Amino acid sequence: MVQTTWGWLIVIYLFLGGLGAGAFLCSALAYKGFLGSLN
């Protein structure tokens, strides 16, 4: 069976993609008011 190794570029790409998705989700929840209010 052939096993491939991913390079660091792919690892960084996937990490930054997950970080961006998490930031988007947090901002969407904050915009909708699910994380509390400032008042």
pLDDT, one tens digit per residue, over 8-38 is 999 999 999 999 999 999 999 999 988 877 6
- Total Cβ atoms within 10 A of residue 1: 2
With residue 25 as reference, give the H or E element that holds it: helix 8-32
Specify the pLDDT at position 29. Answer: 93
